[in-house]
Amino acid sequence: MPRLVRRRPWIERVKSMLNPMDFLLWLSEEIETHDWSSKAVGTQLGLAMNFSFLLARANSGGARVADPVFDDGSSSVGWLAYVVSALVWFLVGFSSINAYYTMYRSRKYRLFEADVEKKPETRSARRVRVQSSPVSSSPLRLLADVISPESAESRAHPDSTRDVWEIAMWDPLPISLRLFCLFSPGHILVYMMFLPLAPLDARPSVTVFNCLVLQVILSAQLMLFQSRFSQQNKDSSVIQKEVMHEYDTKFVHPLMYPTVRDAGTQLSRDNFGNDMDFIEVAYRPRQYRLNPLE
């Protein structure tokens, strides 16, 4: 066992255990470092939350109005109603937080060679100090950006020796994006409009069916839009790669490595010293090769 050099005082240990920022920092690190790239997990969570919210909202009709003639005065609100109400508001809050995190999660890129005096043509660009370290897009960072979105240094006159442009590119997690497609605030609004069922509803099954149809249509539209947008990004990257490849093949490589040849000539003369013709001594063509050692 290693020798104990210094033990923290008891008060500091108690304060560190009661400090919520340590827990929030640990939670942010778990969210950022965990492998959330599986879309199947997001699909399962989205369907489970839809089913749970559907049941909870359908059974959250609230307290029944007491009848002064036939009721015996006992309360009609039990512990189950409070549990259902808490579950409903928890799912509402979770959906709202996930939607905000999905929309505003970004990855920072810095343009060190760009002119500080000329702002890039994008709203995602902002001026930062070169010495400052790029911050990760965690939930705590998003909360800090909401509280103080702009600092005094960023509003100061640009200094080309100390400032640099930073672009925050949208980079949502796949699981958050799939949850947004399946259980967004729009889905919750549809549930709120149709559920709980009215006591005098003539066709309650039709009302529930209409609600489910709207949810399926909304989810299908969002997932189709996500799929087409992802495919557009993949196609755009392939086209850009091919454009650069064609540019290198047709312009860069021929100019850097032109096709040349090593040739030598020899002048022949007759006995009287008159020039007769040129004789080619050697010929070896050279052209660009992928591997210069070949």
Residues 238-268 have pLDDT tens digits of 999 999 989 888 888 888 877 766 666 666 6
pLDDT at 92: 92
Nearest residue to 173 (alpha-carbon basis) of 226, 215, 251: 226
Tell me the sheet residues that pair with 286: 260
The strand ranges marked E within the chain are 106-111, 125-129, 163-170, 260-269, 275-286
Give one DSSP letter per residue of 92-138, joined into a string.
Answer: HHHHHHHHHHHHH-EEEEEETTS-TTS--SSTTEEEEESSSPPPP--
pLDDT at 146: 57
What distance in Å separates the CA atoms of residue 168 and residue 142, rounded to the nearest whole number?
Answer: 12
Tokens of 83: 């549990």
Q: In the predicted model, what is the mean pLDDT of residues 167-184?
A: 88
pLDDT at 60: 78
Q: At what angle do helices 79-104 and 185-194 cross, to 10 degrees?
A: 150
Q: What is the pTM of this model?
A: 0.64
pLDDT at 2: 63
Q: In the predicted model, what is the mean pLDDT of residues 44-52?
A: 90
Tokens of 50: 């839809």
Q: At what angle do helices 204-247 and 185-194 cross, to 10 degrees?
A: 170
Helix (H, G, I), strand (E, B) or coil at 264: strand
Tell me the backbone φ, ψ of residue 274, rounded to 5 degrees: -90, 140
pLDDT at 288: 47
**Over 80: is that where the pLDDT of 78 sits?**
no
**Over 80: is that where the pLDDT of 112 sits?**
yes
What distance in Å separates the CA atoms of residue 274 and residue 294, rounded to the nearest whole number?
Answer: 44
**Over 70: is that where the pLDDT of 206 sits?**
yes
